[in-house]
Amino acid sequence: MELQVLVLRPIFFFFFFVFLTILQQSSSARVLTITKPDRHDYAASARWLVSQNSWGVLSTLSVDHKGAPFGNVVSFSDGLPEKGNGIPYFYLTTLDPTARNALKDQRASLAISESPLGTCTRDPMNPTCSKLTLTGKVKEFFLIDTTKKLTVKCFGLYLIIMFQLLILEGGSEEAEVAKKALFTKHPEMMDWPKDHDFRFFKLEIIDIFLINWYGGAKPITVDEYLHAKS
């Protein structure tokens, strides 16, 4: 009897350790709404990473450190579930350096990984664990309250803002899309302090860097990316 206990004990601990490992991985992974595409479909793979992730590292050029790169973890969304458009939207406060940097110099990049999704069991730097960097310009845009009447003075100021500030094409229509996308994926945002000057931004993509297998970066144009099925 004692011999059986001695034999079974290490086996029990082995399977218990495996169970805990699986449980930890499953608890940290996100619930995926779209199946991972074929790795040879580079544009779809990039869109999948953006649609399924909820956060990434947004790097801007630091105002406080003479243009040195400043990376910061930020939450984002590219649209409603299963209806993403591939464009990352952000809800940033000017109390944070990232928003202030972007307002001064729009150049930025967003880096995301497959690792948080739980579909990759290798090291995040392993080429089989997909990673994506979107480079472009972070642009602020505004929600226009159409229920309020504008005075001549306010309307003139509004026109000046429209021409002088860098606003999203499509105006408040895309702003509403961004708001719904962000608040659906990150409902906590709706309760963030109103006096913290949170603003809506998007990343206007200029270049795409994708690693999803061996062989270096995969060729993807911005047009291919934006028109791919995620």
Give per-residue pLDDT as tens, 165-211. Answer: 444 544 578 899 999 999 999 999 999 999 999 999 999 999 999 99
Give me the CATH topology for the region 31-226.
Pnp Oxidase; Chain A (2.30.110)
**C-alpha torsion angle, residues 185, 191, 192, 197 (rounded to 10):** 100
Note the pLDDT tens digit of each residue in 30-42: 567 789 999 999 9
Q: Locate the DSSP E strands across 114-158.
A: 131-141
User: How far apart (Å, rounded) are the C-alpha atoms in residues 50 and 175?
Assistant: 19
User: How far apart (Å, rounded) are the C-alpha atoms in residues 198 and 77?
Assistant: 16
> Model pTM greater than 0.85?
no
- Best CA proximity match to 198, nearest among 61, 95, 110: 95
| Residue 154 φ/ψ, nearest 5 degrees | -65, -40
Q: Is 196 helix (H, G, I), strand (E, B) or coil?
A: helix
The residue extents of the domains of the chain are 31-226
Low-confidence ranges of the chain (pLDDT < 70): 1-31, 143-171, 230
pLDDT value at position 163? Answer: 44
